[in-house]
Structure 1
């Protein structure tokens, strides 16, 4: 493609990217089931309490999120202050959150595809433009949940980290570690990087140093027993209705053999059935075993000289997908976790990324059909949304199988392979 056509496509990408954010942000105001609910019902009160001298989640009281998740919530609160008089607290905070997510995404998009003439060289590669179009399509298919959750903040952070792994491994590892202290899933990409990237010692050292610095600062701020409460808070949770493992119970609910109930403690809908607690308790050790198995498989491939360009994409996607498939929580926003490993797969190995890319877009569309479009019917255990959610969960399992199969098929390469040296 000529430089002129390349710049034109990048300009078109930016227009579509920004319009997609505007459209999805507006959809949050129009669609049912409060797709922006978490932002105004929990993020704004948490941040207001911290700024107003009240309780600070993760510091003075236990929290379900890692502590750095409070930072974007505080930023949105500060950004909302000039708008409060005109829109009220809730409206101003929602607008500020959408602006914050859009700005962060734009930074990640600039690293991915470039900025006009200055970024043309960086963004001229076909795979990067393809990844940009994929991001736009995924955002539109998933809808408001792609922006109005804390998970959205981690997408550009993890994407930049993944894109910088080859040339800036220390900064990349730092970003992935920071992302993991906002929402745990970027830690899976950090693990994949330690396994697949040649300069793994630098990656591991940077991750450890950043994690230690975060822990030290939190401890100085007063967090002690609450320091790792985001891990212990998850262990007592029940089986959420959208979790993959909850699928059989949803069909049981059609016949009255299971029920859907709301947990006021966790603020989510869970399954109530005889075996649900047992399944929920088993999922955490299953997750550990699956992640460990994938990590060992990746380490064996790396030891045999596999190129990082071939190894990292399927390993990263398999690890992230495993965190979703084996999770007792199945929140719809978990689908945004898939965006980064799929985009990195497109950038690093576009030929083999077609199947996981298409599957992921299908997952986005099915998730949007469930939440927010038919979520009220799902809570009533109606047939149609249960069928759609079951298909979505089936595709998640298929994606895990495909990425794991691709991981096992990564060929060994001699240490003199240029692609391996590039890692």
Structure 2
């Protein structure tokens, strides 16, 4: 027998039906998708206009990539080309526009970059929306540059590799190996793999996939290892940490100069070779620190593989003889992966990538002539950008060590 409702009892509120998990996730992803579409349209317009700064950003696709495509399509890697400094797996990316034969090379390349960008956004949204927001809002700070470089597809491989490590270690390692054959640095994503059987699985899969891809390229193309000679002869790029030191030294009377070689502006003159050796020594020191961290790490949470990969790439970025603006694409992608986990120890470091990306856009393409000429403004920009990256790398090392030791 039910008790009748009295006049003093309010009517039961009308509750909307609960959303299913899939519908709720779709509803929450709509703002991310909207911002992605708007910002990427703006980046595309900037690329088509291509009037930012002193030099056209799209020229690298029109001239270099398109020229390499012609050689690679005939089964040969560029031989004796000073601008070809990439591992042989990069051929896969430069040949990929052939999959869209109804478009020009430039149109197909940009379309594939946008597809890779959308893939990163999708997997980050599913893993954790904070990371997706960092990627979606951080990448446009680099203006049109990401659409005219092949670093977004490489970053997509690294992001998927990291996010797959917990549940699909074979896939994670295979993607890391493929990424390493395309641009080396994705191999660093395996540095933080959980100890035990999973590490053996990830590292073994990485070695196997890299070896298989290299074998295919060795059989199908001539001169696949010529890039090693070009890479070894590189000097100090003006945008690197060592380049910043030489930029300041020139302002104080150093007699060195800048020349365009190996596809970038580099310093020539006294002490440049010493700076090169110092950069290589610092990179070796970074590797030794990572090995020491790996051996001494005792506490492992779900974010450690992400934090370790981000820290490793940061270290090798700041110690490199070259810090091109597209390196920030890698760092934004890895920072976004870190933010997908509430366990990350590198949240402050991840957020530092936002001003670093904005400063990089000022360095290139907006005010690149100031940097090349070594003006006061150019020196200030380089000190701020590279000082920020150096501070981020040191902070990442300290927080990673504290969180795991």
- TM-score scaled by length of structure 2: 0.87
1:186 aligned partner? 186
1:11 aligned partner? 30
Higher helix fraction (1 or 2): 1
Looking at structure 2, the residues matched to 278 and 59 of structure 1 have their Cα atoms a distance apart, in angstroms, of 26
* 1:18 Cα deviation from its structure 2 partner: 2.5
Looking at structure 1, the residues matched to 284 and 260 of structure 2 have their Cα atoms a distance apart, in angstroms, of 25
Deviation track 1:400-421 (CA, whole Å, cap 9, x = no partner) reads 1111011111245xxxxxxxxx
**Aligned positions of 1:5-154 closer than 5 A:** 6-28=25-47, 29-32=50-53, 33-51=55-73, 53=74, 55-57=76-78, 63-77=84-98, 79=100, 81-83=101-103, 92-113=104-125, 123=126, 128-154=128-154
Looking at structure 1, the residues matched to 93 and 286 of structure 2 have their Cα atoms a distance apart, in angstroms, of 31
1:241 aligned partner? 238
Secondary structure of residue in 2 paired with 1:384: helix
* 1:184 Cα deviation from its structure 2 partner: 1.2
* 1:234 Cα deviation from its structure 2 partner: 1.9
Looking at structure 1, the residues matched to 334 and 108 of structure 2 have their Cα atoms a distance apart, in angstroms, of 28
* 1:233 Cα deviation from its structure 2 partner: 2.7
Looking at structure 1, the residues matched to 98 and 250 of structure 2 have their Cα atoms a distance apart, in angstroms, of 40
- Contact persistence 1:325–1:396 (CA under 8 A): yes
- Contact persistence 1:298–1:315 (CA under 8 A): no
5+ unaligned residues in a row in structure 1: which ranges?
84-91, 114-122, 413-423
1:397 aligned partner? 390
Worse-superposed segment, 379-388 or 252-261: 252-261
1:417 aligned partner? none
* 1:198 Cα deviation from its structure 2 partner: 5.7
Q: What RMSD over aligned residues (CA atoms) do the two structures have, in Å?
A: 2.5
- Contact persistence 1:59–1:222 (CA under 8 A): no
Looking at structure 2, the residues matched to 60 and 251 of structure 1 have their Cα atoms a distance apart, in angstroms, of 31
Q: 1:239 to 1:94 in 2, by over 3 A?
A: same
- TM-score scaled by length of structure 1: 0.84
* 1:8 Cα deviation from its structure 2 partner: 2.4
- Decide which of 285, 289, 292 is 1:296's aligned counterpart: 292
Q: 1:370 to 1:351 in 2, by over 3 A?
A: same
Q: 1:204 to 1:5 in 2, by over 3 A?
A: closer
Secondary structure of residue in 2 paired with 1:388: helix
Secondary structure of residue in 2 paired with 1:332: coil
1:116 aligned partner? none
Secondary structure of residue in 1 paired with 2:236: coil
- Contact persistence 1:258–1:272 (CA under 8 A): no
5+ unaligned residues in a row in structure 2: which ranges?
1-17
Looking at structure 2, the residues matched to 295 and 361 of structure 1 have their Cα atoms a distance apart, in angstroms, of 29
Tell me which stretches of 4 or more aligned residues in structure 1 moved more than 6 Å: 58-62
- Contact persistence 2:303–2:344 (CA under 8 A): no
Which has the larger Rg?
2
Looking at structure 2, the residues matched to 388 and 197 of structure 1 have their Cα atoms a distance apart, in angstroms, of 45
